[in-house]
Every structure is written in C-alpha cells, then in structure tokens.
Amino acid sequence: MPGLYGAISNEISSTTPVINAMLKILSYGRAVHSEDYRDDQIQMGCVHLRTGGQHVLYNSPQACVAFFGYLTQPTISPAVSADGANWAARCIHDRYIECGEKVFLDLEGAYAVVIWDKRNRTLLLGEDRMGLRPIYYAEHHHTFLFASEVKAFLVDPTFPRQLDRVAAACFFHFRYLKGERTFFEDIHLLPPASFIRWRDNKWDIVRYWTPVYPDSFPSHPDSWYDEQIEATLKAAIKRADCKDLRYGISLSSGMDSRWIAALMSDLQPGTHSFTFQGAFTSPAEVEIARRVADLTGLEHHHMDLSPNFIADFAHNITFISDGMQSLVDSQEFPLTLEMSKHVDVAVGGFMGSGFFGHNPIFYFIPAHEVFQFQKQRMRAVLPPRAVLDRFFGKQTYADLENSAFLELQAANKEAPCKLGFQILSYEEINQRQRRFTFSAQLLKTPFVDMVHPIADRQVWDLSLQLPPSQLMYKRAFRRALARYYPQLAALPWNKIPGTATASVPSIFTRQVYNRVSQSIKTKLSLTKHNRARFQYQDYSDWLRGPLRSFIEPILLSEEANASGLFDTDGLYGVVKDHFEGRLDITPFLGIVLPFILWTKMFYLPSIPRQPDLLTTLFLSSQTAGG
C-alpha cells in the first residue's frame, strides 16, 4: 500500500538515493501524491491518494509529523484537508507538543504516524491499537529505516535478503505470518498499539495499550446487548463518515456487510455496493447480496469473476502484498479495480467474527488445551502429512511444522487473558484478522482509501463485555440485526441453511449434519489424499483446466526452489499428481504460488521492479477513476 517511508542516520545524505527509490516504489495506482521532510539527520515522507485534497504532513520549528490513515478520536476522516487545525497531522503535532508520548493514548482509528521532535532529536514511530496500518522497520549500515511496505527496503541493492524460515513456515501452515515477522530476517513489523522511540542511535519498542479481558460477566437482558451493539456500531460508522466523499462496500451475504449496508444507507444514501460471483460466492449468495442492496437502497454492482483473474493479476497481487497474500483469497483485487471507478473510500467489514462470536466449541475449551485444539484445526486444512513430506522433504517439513507450532505457542502466551475462548479470540484478532485485514488493504489502498468501522476501539471494548452465551454463532450480533433491521435478518445467512434469526442449537445441529453428510460424500467420491475444502472446488477445476498452462510452469520452474525449502523431485511429483487428479491440494497451492513468485520478485533480484502489467493496469485505473 502507499504510506510512510524514511530513514534516520548521522550520515543521512548518503541515504538520499535510497529514500528517492523508496518514494518511487511506493508510488503506484492512484497513490502518486507525496509529501516529505528532510534535514541533516532524517528524511521522511508519505505517499497517499490525497483523497478529498487531504494533506498528511505538518512541519513546525518544534516537530514534524507525517500521518497515514484516519482518526476516529478525535474524529478526522481520510479526506480532511490542511485548512485550519482540524487536520490529522496538525492535530497530532499539537497534542504531542502538549503531552509528549502520551499522545498515543489520545488517538484512535487506523493509522501509522512518524513524529520527529527537533528539540531533542527524537523519532517516534507508532501505529493504532489494532495495527491496521502496518509499519516495518530495519537497521542497515548504521541507518534506521522504516516504511509501510517491505519492498521499500529492497530498493537498496546492498540490503541483506536472508529468508526467515519461521515466517515461511507460518505462511504455509496458517496462510499468514505470525508475530512481527516478514519473509526477511532483517525486516520486522511493528506490533499493534506500540511505538518505536529512537534517540542517539538507540531505539526501543513501547507498548502503550493492552485490551482488558474480564474474568466474569455481569448478567444483562438480551435487549441490553442489542441496544449496545446497535448504538456502538452506528457511532463507529458515523466516526468514519465524511459527507463529501463517495463510499463503497464489498457486499456479501454475511452479517458484517449487512450491518454496514444498513448503517451506511442511513448516513450515506448514495453508497455503492459491489459483489462478485466466483469460486467462493454462489449465485444464491449473489442474489442475497442484491436483495440486501435493494432493501437498504444501495446502488449494486455485480461482477462475474473468471478464472483468468489469477493469471491476469498474480504478479500484481504478489508485488503489492509483498508475497504475503494467498492468490485464491485475492478475489477482492479485481473487484477493487471496478470499485475505484465509482468511489473514493471502501468500507471494510472485517473483524465481525473476531469480535462477536465463533463456534460454540470454542467456549468449552480450557486454556491449557487451546494449543492442542489449534494444532488439530491447522492440520485439518493442510494436505496429508505424507504429501507434505514429499513436497518439502521429511526433515525440512518436520522443521517447518515445529517452527509453526512454536510461533503458535508464543502468540498464545502473549494473550492478556485467562479463559480459553478469550485466548482464541485474542489470537484471531491480534494475529489472523490483523494480517488478513491489512493484506486486504494492500490490494485496495493504491486505488481507494479505506475505513474499518467494525475494527473500532469502542466496538472491541463492547465485544469484551459479551458473555459466551451471547457470542455463540454471533448470537447477539444476529439478534440485534433482527431487532433493528428485521428484513435483512430474514434473508438466508451464508453460514447456515437458514436465516440470521436461527437459534444456536438449530445452527449447531444443522452444521453437524452438513459436516457428516459432506464427509460421507467426500469419502465416496474423492481419493483419500483429497482434503480440499468444498469452497475451493471451483478453483480446483480452474487450476486443472484453464489455469494449468499458467500455474504449472511457475511451480516447476528452476526458481521455485531458490528458497531451499522444497524437495525438487517431491514437488514435481506432487504437482503432477494434483494436475492429473490423483490428489487435490488447491488451497495449499494458493499459498505456494505467491511464495514462488515472491522468490522471483524479491528474494532473487538485487532490486525489485513493478511488473510490466502493473503500470498499464494502474494507468487505466487512474483514467477510469478520474
């Protein structure tokens, strides 16, 4: 995504070529506006969309502030310009001069910010409570570097490119990287709710906020929870709203997007909605999304997703996401290109599952059994162990699996809570949802700005007050929707064969029945090596059919094993077995493909470059989007 970049050093002039190259590689799509500050010790700046004419840098004799994102406390949308004091960078600057590092406690929203205090030559580099606008950092040649994208560090041909094998292990096992890791050992992700303090060539990381999980839950009537959810979500939507902008939402048949559609229609009647039909979205779900749009008065755009989107955009998706995004989970990218023609800001619907509920099984797992439960869930979605042993080699895979397990344990130990379901929820929000959310942002923010009303501190605080009885299958979340928007709740829900008003026991019974039925069908119709989840069936057909000529050469290329992780003969044999129908590892290939493309783009070359198609794609988007 576009965002912050910079370097600080006692010999800052020598880094000017690197800083200029950082600026260039972060400038793509419609994000081609930049503002910067440079003195004898620091060079810093921000690349952004300039949505609504906003400015992102404020400079005074005391300090310079560069800001990327939006604030909900104080309420400053992505489009507020530099006219007057109600401007994010100016606001942060003034508050910092007044209270110093406590400024981070006063800020809420989704943002990354760099503060250069000229008075004491101190750098502060911070991000929001949930870490939704990532900031990466590294040290190289006595220079401290930071940027919103990993590729920005690689514009320096002397920067070390040492593969972080633990990060790769996490990617292959979880579909995302855990903790503060990237694919490079020398580049790290700043933790959420934290800031880096740099002074006199020394730096440390300070955690400024931690969520407070209760040990017990007061009893309230259902109506109390309903009222709190509706009021909190409405306030969160309002804080992210700006009347002068055009808004759009990705509309599915799920609960999150129904809430957002309903609340946005009240605040922004001209909001657009976008739905794609493809491997993960059936015609029935598209029809539900269309009906949601009709009921809320939103203009609805429908897009048929062809299998060619992987071949057309694989290099672009890998480049933009720094290789950290599964290709079969990237359907939003072609949808975003269409969205950018109609709107200025995309409204994200992430975090609903993390905040408002999970499978009831979660609430019966004691804390000491969480890790074993997580291991079983992880293994259930991976190819069989025998296939993985072939793919990587037995010893290499044993090492990768052990590394993934250790990272999982480390993540659980960080959780500031005691109950099993809370540990699972914290890991879901702080690790999985966080990574998936800013991966989705990466694919959108070169074209449209983005807000996350559900990923709001007040929404998180409310969710922590919900007892397990209100969280099972999003019970309170669904019931509140039925109370305030009964027509939306009456529509079928994509998670169950029923509506959003179904009871927890009926949902549980239906899901058990469906899973048993699906298991029987799988055993009858598929080989013992086929564990691909049903939702990937279309991709399975596509990968063996129209996409085979694109994908197979990548998987079997000489560069595929440049990382040293794969067993060459084993990889060749597994890929052949997949394409010839003897096994199905479609979801796993969705991870392996971007990793190999990442190897070719970032791990092997001395300097990364934008794919040729990227430039044409972005220029056409700019023209269409005005």
What per-residue confidence (pLDDT) applies to 558? 85
Quick check: 351 and 437 in contact, CB under 8 A? yes
Which run of H or E residues covers position 69? strand 63-73
Average pLDDT of the segment spanning 343-367: 84
Question: What is the per-residue pLDDT for 626?
Answer: 42
Report pLDDT digits (tens) over 18-77: 999 999 999 988 999 999 999 999 999 999 998 877 789 999 999 999 999 988 877 665
Nearest-angstrom CA–CA distance, 412 and 594: 27
What was the pLDDT predicted at 129?
93
Name the pLDDT band for 412 (thresholds 50, 70, 90): very high
Q: How far apart are CA 513 and CA 508, in angstroms?
A: 9
pTM listed for this prediction: 0.91
Q: What is the pLDDT of residues 587-613, one digit of tens each?
A: 899 899 999 999 999 999 877 877 765
DSSP state of 609: -
What is the pLDDT, as a whole number, of residue 160?
95
Mean pLDDT of 102-124: 95
Burial class (CB in 10 A: 0-12, 13-18, 19+), 305: middle
HEC string of 376-397? HHHHHCCCCHHHHHHHHCHHHH
One domain, residues 193 and 243: no
Both tokens assigned to 222? 């259902």
SS (H, E, C) 425-470: HHHHHHHHHHHHHHHHHHHHCCCCEEECCCCCHHHHHHHHCCCHHH
Give the pairing type, strands 345-347 and 449-451: parallel
Most distant CA pair in the chain: distance in Å?
Answer: 74
Q: Which residues contact 278 (CB under 8 A, 6 or more apart)?
A: 304, 305, 306, 309, 331, 538
Could you tell me if residue 543 is inside a domain?
Answer: no
> Which residues, other chains included, contact 619 with Cβ-Cβ below 8 Å and sequence gap of 6+?
none
Q: Is the pLDDT score of 620 beyond 70?
A: no
Strand 42-48 to 4-8 pairing: antiparallel
Q: Provide the phi-psi class of 39: left if phi over 0, else alpha when psi is between -120 and 50, else beta.
A: beta
Banded model confidence at residue 542, pLDDT cuts 50, 70, 90:
confident
pLDDT at 84 over 80: no
Let me know whether 226 and 188 are in one domain: no
Contacts with 552 (C-beta within 8 Å, 6 or more apart), sequence order? 575, 579
- Residues 171-200 pLDDT 10s: 999 999 999 999 999 999 999 999 999 999
Q: Does residue 481 carry a pLDDT above 90?
A: yes
Residues 197 and 272 reside in one and the same domain: no
Which range, 111-125, 331-345, 412-426, 488-502, is most confident?
Answer: 111-125
Token pair belonging to 499: 């509506």
Geometric angle at alpha carbon 543, from 539 and 548, rounded to 5°: 165
**pLDDT at residue 502 is higher than 80:** no
Last residue of a domain, one of 467, 502, 537: 502
Q: What residue numbers bound the domain in which 328 lies?
A: 222-356+427-502
Instruction: Kindly state whether residues 205 and 230 are assigned to the same domain.
Output: no
* Position 228 in a domain: yes
Asked whether 135 and 189 are in contact (CB, 8 A), the reply is yes
Residue-wise pLDDT tens digits, 256-308: 999 999 999 988 888 999 998 876 677 888 899 999 999 999 999 998 887 78
289: its two tokens: 């999304």
Say yes or no to pLDDT of 150 above 60. yes
> Secondary structure of the chain: what % helix, strand, coil (to 5)?
50, 15, 30
For residues 476-502, give the mean pLDDT. Answer: 83
Write down the mean pLDDT value for the chain.
87
Last residue of a domain, one of 470, 502, 534: 502
Into how many domains does the chain fold?
A: 2
Of 357, 354, 358, 359, which Cα lies nearest the Cα of 452? 354
Q: Which is higher by pLDDT, 240 or 409?
A: 409
Contact between residue 40 and residue 12 where contact means Cβ atoms under 8 Å apart: yes
Same domain? 173 vs 231 = no
- pLDDT tops 50 at residue 521: no
- Residue 611: inside a domain: no
Position 436 scores a pLDDT of: 86
- 253 vs 480: which has the higher pLDDT: 480
* Structure confidence at residue 282 (pLDDT): 75
Q: Please state whether beta strands 272-277 and 449-451 pair in parallel, antiparallel, or not at all (unpaired).
A: unpaired
Where is 204: in which H helix or E strand? strand 202-207
Which of 267-271, 285-289, 362-366, 371-375 is predicted most confidently?
A: 371-375
Let me know whether 265 and 129 are in one domain: no
Same domain? For 152 and 298 the reply is no
Q: What percent of the chain stands above pLDDT 70?
A: 88
Asked if the model's pLDDT at residue 547 lies above 70, the reply is yes
Contacts of 586 (CB under 8 A, 6+ apart): 328, 532, 536, 539, 540, 543, 578
User: Is there a single domain that holds both residue 98 and residue 10?
Assistant: yes
Q: Is the Cβ–Cβ distance between 331 and 317 less than 8 Å?
A: no
* Lowest-confidence pick of 242-256, 295-309, 378-392, 531-545: 531-545
Domain final residue pick, 149, 180, 209: 209
Residues 84, 53 share a domain: yes
Q: Which residue has the higher pLDDT, 580 or 606?
A: 580
> Which string of b and e fits 457-488 if b means at least 16 CB within 10 Å?
bbbbebbbebbbebbbbbbbbbbbbbbbbeeb
Using pLDDT thresholds of 50, 70 and 90, give the confidence band for residue 524: very low
Q: Bridge-partner residues for 346, per DSSP?
A: 248, 450
Q: Which long-range contacts (CB under 8 A, 24 or more apart) does 259-263 make?
A: 259/233, 259/349, 259/352, 259/454, 259/477, 259/481, 260/347, 260/349, 260/453, 260/454, 261/292, 261/293, 261/296, 261/298, 261/488, 262/296, 262/481, 262/484, 262/485, 262/488, 263/233, 263/234, 263/237, 263/453
Whole-angstrom Cα distance, residue 63 to residue 11?
Answer: 20
The answer to whether residue 397 sits within a structural domain is: no
Q: Which helix (H) or strand (E) holds 541?
A: helix 537-544
Report the pLDDT averaged over residues 96-120: 95
Residue count of the chain:
626
Residue 11 has pLDDT above 90, yes or no: no
**Is 386 within a domain?**
no
Tokens of 68: 């990327």
User: 97 pLDDT exceeds 90?
Assistant: yes
Strand, coil or helix: 408:
helix
Let me know if residue 593 belongs to a domain.
no
Q: Residue 520: which pLDDT band, with cuts at 50, 70 and 90?
A: very low
pLDDT at 494 over 70: no
* Concatenated DSSP letters of 73-96: ETEE-TT--SSSS-SHHHHHHHHH
Q: Does residue 564 register a pLDDT over 90?
A: yes
pLDDT of residue 53: 72
Clarify whether residues 109 and 205 are in a common domain: yes
What per-residue string of b and e applies to 399-438 under the rule 16 or more CB within 10 Å gives b? bbbebbbebbeebbeebebebbbbbbbbbbbbbbbbbbbb
Per-residue pLDDT reduced to its tens digit, 383-392:
999 999 999 9
**Cα distance between residue 139 and residue 157, in whole Å:** 14
Structural domain contains residue 432: yes
Q: 25 in a domain, yes or no?
A: yes
**Do 338 and 442 belong to one domain?**
yes
Residue 532 has pLDDT above 50, yes or no: no
Alpha helices in 79-221 (DSSP H): 88-99, 103-106, 165-174
Residues 131-142 have a mean pLDDT of: 95
Which position has the higher pLDDT, 60 or 509?
60
Beta-carbon contacts of 321 under 8 Å, excluding residues fewer than 6 positions away, are: 330, 439, 442, 443, 594
Q: What is the mean pLDDT of residues 472-498?
A: 86
Q: What is the CATH number of the domain that holds 11?
A: 3.60.20.10
**Which of 100-109, 356-365, 525-534, 594-603 has the weakest average pLDDT?**
525-534
Q: What's the whole-number mean pLDDT along residues 319-331?
A: 89
Which residues have a Cβ under 8 Å from the Cβ of 238 and sit 6 or more positions away?
267
- Distance CA(94)–CA(115), nearest Å, equals 11
Q: Within this chain, do residues 284 and 181 fall inside the same structural domain, yes or no?
A: no
The domain that contains 309 carries what CATH number? Answer: 3.40.50.620
